[in-house]
Structures are given as structure tokens and as C-alpha cells.
Structure 1
Amino acid sequence: MMRYTLEVEKYGIYCDGTEAATTTAGFNQALKNASEAGICEIDIPRGIYLINGVNEESALKPEERAGIIVPSNMTLNLHPEAEFRVAPNGSFGYTCFYIGEVENVTLRGGKIRGERYQHDFNGHGDFEKKETHEWGYGINIHGSRNVTIKGVDIADCTGDCIMVNAQGMLNVSWTTYRPARNITIKDCKLDGARRNNISVTGGEDVKIENNEITNAGINDGCMPMFGIDIEGYGEGDIDYEEPRNVKITNNTFAGNVAQSVCNFSGYEVVISGNHSDNTISYGYGTDTNIENNIFVRKDKKYTAIAGLGVSAGFIGNNATISGNTIKGFSSGIDVRGADVTVSDNTISELSVDGIALATFEAKNVKFSDNTVNHCQGKLCCARNSRDITFEGNELNDSDITAMEIIDSTNVKAKSNDIKRSKQGVVITRSSAKVIDNDVDLTEYTNAAAYAIAFDKGSDVFIKDNRIPTPTNMAIYGESVEGRTVRIKDNDITDAKCLIPIYVIGGKKHEISGNDITFNRTASGGYGIQTKNTDGALIQENIVHSVSGFKLYSPIKTDESINSRVIGNKISGNLALNKTDIETNNIPI
């Protein structure tokens, strides 16, 4: 492979930051000559090079075929003290290095500086005016393949530091679609672009690794202001560009205004091993993995991991969120859309106003084996969602509630370990199964509320939960006719409260197989109490005191009607209504 050191004087290239037009033309002539001569690697010496980044022959796309135009089969080695500065202009688009419809290109080292802070945002020259002026790029990879950008320092562009995009459009008859393919961006410093530091709109097999990606959108930037934006253009369920198979690994994100990474509409995206101080989102993306990232803030702002919904024409996101560590944000993981699994994440020190694990307008979501500590706000919340599972999570230290289920359908809370929180599970206007959980509120420093509670608008199945030493009601709920309440086989031990299980209202509830022991320091208490219910079945429960103090009554149904109190093992006398059926109860 032939290698050549660029002869700047030969081509009229100025190294002192002047004469943009002459310098740009000199570079392009030098690269053209080298390519025709079979030279595949060029070393560019130190210097300050002023570049005309505007294609003045294109009124609609001045950023295309502009600036330094890199040919195929070319490696450019930029000296560490080679700095390329885009000449100040008033165009809505420009490019410093254009890698367009070529192949086998490497750009290595050096610095690229946009003219963001010298740009004339009121100007547009002879071009069609686009008021946002967001198409100014440091490097424009346009419909090319086999491109590597390595160790380049890029900053201060009016648009993006690096744009990866397609030539032409999908699903139209008048153009050929050529996405950028096999693109690698690594070991770069990308800072302070006005819009995004990297955009991938029409690219396939894109690898973004080991970069420092900082401050996108600062100083009154232009939306969306992401560190990395993966966003193809489409309308409804028709894609005109597709970002596909993008891997974002081991990067550092800091100070990007809106988000660190957003997979707004990409396919097969992996976001792994990064360090982030802002949101990473699967957006409307499909087949996204967000795994083993570290999220750290100190001001308890923003959501660490988020989503937006399901892309038009698809049934789900198929997103996996696993192994992430989140600390010091407002909220942890906010799931929207469908078909999402969230597992083995560790979340701590969130805002009291935030939620560690949440869904909103989501369906078919499973949260499993996550650990939440030292978070004062809600630890889990399913809201306006359906088919949601919280399983095997360790949930600790809430001053509000460990789990809230509100306006949702078919929510399952199974085998979770809840400790040191004010409340365990609160169910509002929802259908929920609460099964096999440990709800231990004994170490909560203030007065604890209910271990499990539900309202009149809910259908509940509460089974096999373990609730030690409740100082307030272990299971409390209100119901109405037409709602289902089943409370079975729960183990409530050493109760200090007056009423471990209390249900008000509704019809034909089942309260069976529960084991309730009292360990009070004074006489009194009702093991199971109903009020204003009709036809409740209270069967095969065990209610007794392990201290020397007697209960008022183990089962109290005298404020309800038609209760069936059958086969319970009890200490003390039943308090029944005259309409009740009582049989086979055994004193102990």
C-alpha cells in the first residue's frame, strides 16, 4: 500500500487558518491525484486548515459533496496538531469531511471544529432557507461502506459532529436506497454539537465504541440534543430510512442536554458497557438491548432508562434492559410500549418524586431480579398498563410505597422481597395477583402503613404472602359488588396491630387458609374482620395469640351479612351476625 505525506505548498493549502476556498480546493485536488496514482494512505501534517464546508452548487443540500471530499480506498492520518476549521457561513448545512458514496475509508486523528459560535443564523445566501440551520456536520458519512473514524476530536458544529446517513430513500420508486454500511466510530472526542454529537439515520452495521461524547445541545442547542440519536425518517408504518444493527459500547456520556442515547426508531440496537449521566432510551425502537451500563448523577434529576412506545406497524418493542447500575437519578427505569424485560438491574438513591421501576401505557412487561435500595419514592409502579409482572425483586427503603398498581389489568407481583418501606403493595382500580411475597415493614423508622391494600375498583388475589410483625393492618381493602376478593394462605406472624385482615364492602369474598398469630402487649384485636360485606366465605384460617393477652375476637363478621365461617382454628369467641352460617370451627 502506497503512503504519501501531503505536500501542502504544492497544492496551495494554507496552514495558518486562512484562505478557505483555496485550501479546500487544494485538499480535494491532492486527494484526487493520490487516488488516481494508487496512493491509499496520506499523512496530513500539523497546521490550522480553514475549510469551505458549503456546496454552493446545491441550493437544497449544501452539506452534500462539500468540504474535503474523501475518495474510496483511502486512509487519512491527521497529525494530532492538524486542526480543520469550518469557515464561518450562513448556510443551513455544511460538511467539513464528506465521505459520500465511497468505500474503504479511514479517517484517523486530528481535530475538526465547526463554526457554531461564528455562524450567521439569519443568513442563507442563495439557498432555500431552513430556519433551524441544523445540517452542519464535522463528518458526513453518506451512503458509504467500510468506513472507520478513529481518534478524531470534533466539536462545535451547528448540526452534528458525525452524521451517518443513506443516499436515496426506501419504499419509493424514483431513487435507489444505499445506506451507510459497516461504519466504525471509535476512540473519538465528540463535544458540543448544537444538535446531536452523532446521528445515525440510514446506516447498517454501525459500531460506536470507546468515545467521549459530551455536551450535545448546550448553549441553546437545537432539538433533539442527544449524545447519539438513532432515528430514521418514516411516515406511519412506512420507513424511508432504516438505522439497523447499531452497537454502542464502552462510551462515556456527560453533559448531553436531553439524553445520552435515544434509539428513536432503530432496529437491532445494542447499548452496552457505557457510562452515562443522562437518559438512555429505546424510544420506539425494535429489538433493543440496554445492558451493563453505569448511570450516575449527583442531583437526582432525569430518568436513567426510558422508552416511548411501539413503532407503527409493529406489535412490540422486544426490548431487554439488564445488568445496569443506576444511582442518583430522579427515576430509574420507565417502560412504555410492549414486550419488554427488565432484569438484574441495581437502582439506588433516587429522588423522592421518582419511581425506580415503572410502566405507563405498557403491556407484556416483566421486571425480575432487580434490586432497589435507598430510594425514598415509589419503588415499583404499573400505571395504565396490562400484563405486567414484578417477580423476584428486592425492594427496600421507600417512604411512600414499595409497589403501586393503578388503572392496570392483569398485574402480577410474585416472590418479591419488600423491606424497610412505609407500605408494601397498593392496588387501585386494577386487577392484580399478589403471590408469595415477603412484606417486612418492621424496620421502617416511622409509622408503617399497610402491607397490602386495595380499593373498591380492584379485583385481587392475595396468596402465600409472608407479613411479619405488622403494626398496622397487614391486608386491608374496600370492595363493591361485582369485584372479586380472594385472600388465601397468607402467613401473618406476631401481629402488633388490632386487625391483621380487614375487608369492607362487596360480595362473596373468600378469606381462607390464612395463618395469623398475635403478639400484642395488651388485650384486644380481631384476626379477620369484615364490614358491610355479603356472603363472604371465611374458611380454614388459624387465628390465635402467642402472648398472654386475649383477643377481642379471632373473627368478626357481625357488621356484615350472610358470612360463612367454616372450619377455622381459633382462640377466643367468634363475633358473628345472626345471618351467618357457622360450622366446624375448632377452638385452640
Structure 2
Amino acid sequence: MRYTLEVEKYGICSNGTEASATTSGFNRALLEASEAGICEIDIPRGIYLIDGVNTESSTKPEENAGIVVPSNMTLNLHPRAEFRVAPNGSFGYSCFYIGEVENVTIKGGKIRGERYQHDFTGHGDLEKKKTHEWGYGINVHGAKNVEILGVDIADFTGDCIMLNAKGMLNVAWTTYRPARNVTIHNCRLDGSRRNNISITGAEDVVIDGNTITNAGIHDGCRPMFGIDIEGYGEGDIDYEEPRNVKITENTFTGNVAQSVCNFSGYEVVISGNNSDNSISYGYGTDTVIANNTLVRKDKKYTAITSLGVSAGFNGNNAAITGNTIKGFSSGIDVRGADVTVSGNTITELGAGGIALATFEARNVLFSNNNVHHTAGKHCCARNSSDITFENNKLNGSDITAIEIIDSTNVIAESNKIKRSKHGAVITGSSAKITDNDVDLTEYPGAVSYAIAFDKGSDVFIKGNRIPEPSNMAINGESAVGRTVYIKDNDITNAKCLIPIYVIGGKNHEISGNNITFNRTSSGGYGIQTKNTDGALVKENVVYSVSSFVLHNPIKTAESVNSRVIGNKIAGSLALNKTDTETNNIPI
């Protein structure tokens, strides 16, 4: 049964006056309609001033406040029906309250808060409430089967929409009743002081096709997110849980801190959105961030961010895939554990930013990402473990394509590095650099090393292709106790003096490398060691393809106890008297 509300009958003022009478009139009308079996009410055009404060509760004035919507009710708000919360000084209030009911729909109309008329000076005896961040447009509190469709909501001291639970989990004296099966579709949510949507205790939520803008502007209240998914917990105990939240096809602009943060939710999908600020999986578990378009013009902020692993969990189990990122300071910053980053396109970042990064992370895979027109670092693993960079296309860094710092078991495999100043740099880490194409030939300035490592690193460098290096192709400094393997790399048409140069350390292996020179003058050394002990230099091929000759294809004269075995070389060896030399073949 459908009914058009008779505002005069219930003492409802439609001219923006008489908040108390108007609020009481709406609540009486909805209650009578519900009792009469009316399930759909059309609310005519008008300006309705609402008393959103429940003065009977000193600690929860936002509960059972404002217009209290009963079960099995659809409210069709006229496009020119506007609900305004009356200015007040309460730390909490609600314009519409949907609490522990079911089957409720609110469609159309406008709902406005009073953040710019609010009195922030009072908070009674509750010091922790002094921020006044609990003023809501629609407060869904332990209700289920709720739809909010095509509503224009703005300017609340807290949030445009709050989805929260009645009671708490893991507490014996209360029953936990989360908001369930909530859909927010095609709404305009703007300019609330804290967040535009907060999800603290809710399950099976769909947020689709909305325009979500300007959360936290004008001296807002943290966190100032477009959407904040954040249940309350202490340590590894959850008292609220946001679960199964889908955020799809929304537009986010102007939200102060982030567009979306899954601070502590479970099974969250953030897909197909357009955003001008960060999206984060926070401490969330089982998060998918997919096929979003993130674009800025000022090269500020990190496009996709994170915080770490939630207490009591082994990892985040996050997937970041198919996103397009442009014009931020940095691209994707991974923290925590068990994360896959694949198929993303990242471009036009700030010169000091990083496209793909980890910090204090473990078990992270970066694969098939495309980074271009980005002058800063392209990949960086820092203070992390079990990190893999695989099959990424990295084009145009003014610093380095891959940087590995203070990390363990990092793999850089089958990446295509092009037009960068530096290929890969390993510092204080254990790393495998294998089967990469490191082509620095088109870099417009002076290039650095294709692959470099320091004396605090263990490195396995194998099967890389480095064409026409004008500086050292592989350069490193090592120390006793560190491991260096340089094997089967293909270094062609070298123009530098020394393609492979290793200083210090003991028992290194340099084997199976193919090195050709194409210099415009004579000189150079194909492989040179200095201050090493016991290096094995085996089965390398070193020669010049031009008419200019090398000083020596292999030089170990400044090292001791080298074993120079089975190499194919053009020219004479420069050895130390302590060296062993056998089966080397002139070509």
C-alpha cells in the first residue's frame, strides 16, 4: 500500500521551521502508517527542519534520534524535499535513524547537516566526545535489508551515512547485531566533517555508483575519508567487524585524506572506481583493489597504500590488480604480508616518488605491471622479505628501475628495464637478479650501472641481457662471508671500459657470461676483480667485435688465488702470481 504523507495532518512544517513539531509529526506519521500496513510513503516537496538529538540519552544522543524509520517501509522523497538538521551543540545526532529494523528504503531528496552552524563548545562530562564527530545524515544501526538510493546528503559533523552494529562481539553481556545487507546506490555524499561513509559493524554491504566528495574539508575531523571501513577492536579481539563490503563504480573527488580506507575490514572489494586520492587496504584482510582509475594533477600522495597485518593474523591476503594510476607522488606502497600486485599501469609520478614499493612487508609479488613516464624509482623493496618483481615493464627512471635495501630473499626476474639511468641496485640485502632485459641505451643523460651491489649483500645475478652498456654492466663491492654469483649474463657491444667489476670478498663465482665489446678506441677489461680471494672465473666468453683491442679480457692481477678456467678470450690474461689458470681458449 502506498500513501502520500499529509504534512498538515501531523503538524509537519514544510517551510524549515518548528523542528520539534516537525520531527514528532514525521515519527507519528510513520508509526501510524506502519501499524496500518502501509509500506510506501511519498514525502512531498518542502524544507523540513529536524531535531536530530535524543536528549534522553546523555551518552548516545544519535541513537533513536531524528526521524525513526520502522520496518517494512519505503520513503520516496520528492526531489525538492530537503531535510535539515536543526543547529545544535550535541556531540551526536541523526537526521534519519534506522535501528534494529528490516526492509527499509530511502529514495531521493536531500539531507543536510548543520556542521557550519554547529556549536562545538560543549560535551558535558564526556571528555572523549569533545570532537563532536557523531552527527549523521542516515544512521543504520543494527538494521538489515536497507537501501539508500539516489539521496543527496551533505555537511554533517560526523558522516553522511553511518553503518554500525548494536551491541558488541566477544562480550558476554551483550548481543551483537551488525547492520546487514545494506545498499547505497546512486547517491551524492558531500562535505561531511569526518567521513562521508563510515562502516564499523556491518556485513554484506554494496556501495555502488555514488559521487563521494570533499570529506573532511574546511578543518575536518580525522580520518577525513570518503569511505572508512573500520571496526573497533583491541589487540586481536574484534568488538565490531565490517565484512563483505563491495565498493564499485563510484566517483571520489576532493576527500581530504583518502578516498577509501579498509582500515580493518574483511572481504572487501574496491573495484571500478574513479578517484583523485588514495585507496588503502590498511590492516584489512582479504581485500581486492581492482580496475580503479586514480588520477591527480599535482603529483601528491600515494595512490594505493597500506598499513600492515591486523593483530592475530598471518597476512593481509590482498590483491591489487588492473588499476590505472597517473599523476600521484607515488604509485603502490605495500606493507604487511601476502599481497599480489599485478597488471597495474602507473605513469607520470613525482620525481621523488616510487611506483611499486614495499616497506616492512613479506611475501609480496609484483607482476606484469607497466611503469612509464615516471622519473622516480620504479620498484623498491625496503626492510622486507620474500619479495618478487616479475615480468614488469619499467621505462624511464631518472634514479633506478629496481632498488633493494635491507631486505632478504628478493627476486627480480624477467623484467624489461628501458631508458633508465640505473638498472638495479642492491644494498644490504640478499637478492636474485635473473633473466632481466636491462637496456639503458636510450636514457638521455649519463647512465650509471645496469646492476650494482654493495659489500653487505648476497647476490645471484644470472641470465640478464644488457646491451651496449656505456658504464659498467655489473659492478659490486663485497666482503668475506658474502656470496656473489654472476652467471650466464649476456653483455653485448659494450662501450664501457669494464663490463663486470667486483671488488673485495672471497670465493665468488663469475661464470658463463658472454661479453662483447664495440668500442671506438682500444682498451678495457671484460671481467676485472680487485682485492678478492679465491674467485672462480670460468667459461666466460670475452672479445671485441670492432677493430679495437682490449687491454685484457680478464684481469685478476689485483686479487689473489683466483681460478681462471675454460674461458674463451681475445687477448692476453692479466693474472696474479697466486692464480690458477687452465684450459682458457684464445679466439
TM-score for both structures, normalised by structure 2: 1.00
**Aligned residue in 2 for 1:454:** 453
**Aligned residue in 2 for 1:542:** 541
**Aligned residue in 2 for 1:574:** 573
**Aligned residue in 1 for 2:88:** 89
One-letter code aligned to 2:120: F
1:242-321 residue pairs with structure 2 within 5 A? 242-321=241-320
Shift of 1:124: 3.7
1:334-413 residue pairs with structure 2 within 5 A? 334-413=333-412
Shift of 1:130: 1.5
Q: Is contact 1:134–1:194 with CA below 8 Å preserved after alignment?
A: yes
One-letter code aligned to 1:457: G
| Alignment partners' CA distance in 2, 1:215 and 1:267 | 26
Shift of 1:265: 0.2
SS at match of 1:360: strand
Q: Is contact 1:232–1:239 with CA below 8 Å preserved after alignment?
A: yes
SS at match of 2:116: helix
Q: 1:358 to 1:126 in 2, by over 3 A?
A: closer
**Aligned residue in 2 for 1:106:** 105
Q: Is contact 2:122–2:130 with CA below 8 Å preserved after alignment?
A: no
| Alignment partners' CA distance in 2, 1:480 and 1:372 | 34
| Alignment partners' CA distance in 2, 1:307 and 1:174 | 35
Q: Is contact 1:90–1:125 with CA below 8 Å preserved after alignment?
A: no
One-letter code aligned to 1:440: D
Q: Is contact 1:91–1:125 with CA below 8 Å preserved after alignment?
A: no
SS at match of 2:313: coil
| Alignment partners' CA distance in 2, 1:360 and 1:128 | 36
Q: Is contact 1:158–1:193 with CA below 8 Å preserved after alignment?
A: yes
**Aligned residue in 1 for 2:426:** 427
Measured against aligned partners, the alpha-carbon deviations of 1:505-528 in whole angstroms (never above 9, x if no partner) come to 000000000000000000000000
Q: Is contact 1:104–1:147 with CA below 8 Å preserved after alignment?
A: yes
**Aligned residue in 1 for 2:15:** 16
| Alignment partners' CA distance in 2, 1:126 and 1:44 | 39
1:497 aligns with 2:496: yes
Q: 1:282 to 1:102 in 2, by over 3 A?
A: same
Q: Is contact 1:59–1:128 with CA below 8 Å preserved after alignment?
A: no
1:34 aligns with 2:39: no
Identity %: 81
1:49 aligns with 2:67: no
| Alignment partners' CA distance in 2, 1:221 and 1:342 | 33
One-letter code aligned to 1:292: N
**Aligned residue in 2 for 1:159:** 158
Q: Is contact 1:60–1:128 with CA below 8 Å preserved after alignment?
A: no
**Aligned residue in 1 for 2:240:** 241
Q: How many residues align?
A: 587
1:483 aligns with 2:482: yes
**Aligned residue in 2 for 1:223:** 222
One-letter code aligned to 1:458: S
The runs of at least 4 consecutive aligned structure 1 residues that moved more than 6 Å come to 125-129
1:185 aligns with 2:178: no
| Alignment partners' CA distance in 1, 2:196 and 2:382 | 34
**Aligned residue in 2 for 1:473:** 472
| Alignment partners' CA distance in 1, 2:571 and 2:519 | 15
Q: Is contact 2:97–2:140 with CA below 8 Å preserved after alignment?
A: yes
| Alignment partners' CA distance in 2, 1:448 and 1:292 | 35
| Alignment partners' CA distance in 1, 2:41 and 2:398 | 63
Q: Is contact 1:165–1:180 with CA below 8 Å preserved after alignment?
A: yes
**Aligned residue in 2 for 1:326:** 325
SS at match of 2:163: strand
**Aligned residue in 1 for 2:440:** 441
TM-score for both structures, normalised by structure 1: 0.99
| Alignment partners' CA distance in 2, 1:504 and 1:44 | 81
Shift of 1:127: 7.6
Q: Is contact 1:72–1:105 with CA below 8 Å preserved after alignment?
A: yes
One-letter code aligned to 1:103: E
1:207 aligns with 2:216: no
Q: What 5-or-longer segments of structure 2 have no aligned partner?
A: none
One-letter code aligned to 1:13: I
Q: Is contact 1:59–1:127 with CA below 8 Å preserved after alignment?
A: no
Measured against aligned partners, the alpha-carbon deviations of 1:270-294 in whole angstroms (never above 9, x if no partner) come to 0000000000000000000000000
SS at match of 1:29: helix
SS at match of 1:118: coil
| Alignment partners' CA distance in 1, 2:98 and 2:12 | 20
**Aligned residue in 2 for 1:67:** 66
SS at match of 1:23: helix
| Alignment partners' CA distance in 2, 1:355 and 1:523 | 40
| Alignment partners' CA distance in 2, 1:222 and 1:366 | 36
**Aligned residue in 2 for 1:136:** 135
1:527-538 residue pairs with structure 2 within 5 A? 527-538=526-537
| Alignment partners' CA distance in 2, 1:439 and 1:126 | 65
